[in-house]
Copies of this chain bind each other. A is one copy, B any other.
Amino acid sequence: MSDTIAYDRLVAHHRQTALFGSALALLHWDQRTQIPEKGHAWRAEQVAALARLIHARNTDPRLADDLAACEAAPPSPEGPDTPRAANVREMRRAYDRAAKIPEDLAVALARACAQAESAWERARPADDWKGFLPHLTEVLSLRRQEAEAVGYAAEPYDALLDAYEPHATAAQLAPLFASLKPVLTGLLDRIRGASRQPDPTLLRRPIPAQAQEAFARKVATAMGYDFAAGRLDRTAHPFATRIAPGDTRITTRFREDNLAEALFGVIHEAGHALYEQGLPADDFGLPTGEAVSLGVHESQSRLWENVTARSRGFWIHFLPKASADLPALAGIGLDDFLLAVNQVRPGLIRVDADEVTYNLHVLLRFELELALVRGDLAAADLPGAWNAAMQSSLGLTPPDFASGVMQDVHWSAGLFGYFPTYTLGNVIAAQLAAAMRRDLGDLEELYARGEFAPQLAWLRENVHRHGSRYTPRDLVRRATGAEPDPAFLADYLEEKYGALYGL
A interface residues with partner B (beta carbon < 8 Å): 16, 19-20, 22-24, 26-27, 30, 34-43, 45-46, 48-50, 53, 226-231, 243-247, 249, 284
- With A37-B229, A42-B243, A42-B246 already in contact, 14 other A-B pairs whose C-beta atoms are closer than 8 Å: A19-B46, A19-B48, A20-B49, A23-B24, A23-B26, A26-B26, A26-B30, A34-B34, A36-B231, A36-B247, A36-B249, A37-B228, A38-B228, A42-B245
Cα–Cα, bound, A50→B243 (Å): 15
Q: List 9 A-B contacts (CB under 8 A).
A: A20-B50, A34-B231, A36-B227, A36-B228, A36-B247, A38-B229, A41-B246, A42-B246, A42-B284
Task: Write out the residue numbers on chain B whose beta carbons fall within 8 Å of the beta carbon of A247.
Answer: 35-36, 38-39, 42-43
When all copies of this chain in the complex are counted, the total is 2
A246 and B30 in contact (CB under 8 A), knowing A20-B49, A50-B20, A50-B23?
Answer: no
Contact across chains for A16 and B49 when beta carbons are under 8 A apart: yes
Choose from B38, B50, B246 the contact partner of A38 (Cβ within 8 Å). B246
A30 to B42, CA, bound (A): 18
**A138–chain B nearest beta-carbon distance, Å:** 21
Q: Are the CB atoms of A229 and B36 closer together than 8 Å?
A: yes
CA A231 to CA B19, docked complex, whole Å:
26
Distance, CA A43 to CA B40, complexed state (A): 24
A246 in contact with B49 (CB, 8 Å): no
A37 to B53: give the CA distance in the assembly, Å. 28
Query: Could you say which residues of chain B place their CB within 8 Å of the CB of A38?
Result: 226, 228-229, 246-247
Of the listed residues A228, A229, A246, A284, the one surrounded by the most CB atoms of chain B closer than 10 A to its CB is A246
Residues in B with CB closer than 8 Å to A49 are: 16, 19-20, 23
List B contacts of A16 (CB < 8 A).
Answer: 49
Closest Cβ of chain B: how far from A32's Cβ, in Å?
13
Residues of B within 8 A of A34 (CB): 34, 231
Q: Which residues of B contact A227 (CB under 8 A)?
A: 36
Could you tell me the distance between the alpha carbons of A196 and B208 in the complex, rounded to whole angstroms? 50
Top 3 A-B pairs ranked by shortest CB distance?
A39-B247, A38-B246, A42-B244
